[in-house]
Amino acid sequence: MDRHWKSLLFLFQNNWKLNTCLTTKYIDLNKRIVHIRKLREVSKPWSESEKFMLDLALHLFNERNKVNLSDMDHLDSQNSKLVIQALHIRFNL
């Protein structure tokens, strides 16, 4: 598994909201598919911080998925730590 997948899965496994979407409906590990449209649809009613965590996970997986790092202002300390750890995983820091 490469660092793109590892960083995405790290956030999905460790953030309670993303973890609810860690199903084959949204992420199929066997087929190596992330259903981005479905994830975006299900996240519409989420809070700003929850949407940021999804956006970051998708960006770390594939940079075509844009994220605004300034939206980290919405995060609590727990999720801020998860972000830093995910960045370490993705960029081998």
Check if the beta carbon of residue 38 is closer than 8 Å to that of residue 28: no
Nearest CA to 7 out of 67, 69, 92 is that of 92
Domain residue spans of the chain: 3-91
Distance CA 50, CA 23 (A): 17
| pLDDT digit string, tens, across residues 34-48 | 999 999 999 999 999
- Do 79 and 55 form a contact (C-beta atoms < 8 A)? no
Using alpha carbons only, what angle is made at residue 58 by residues 28 and 2, rounded to the nearest 5 degrees? Answer: 65
pLDDT in tens, 66-80: 999 999 999 999 999
Side-chain half-sphere CA neighbours of 39 within 13 A: 27
The predicted structure's pLDDT at residue 24 = 95
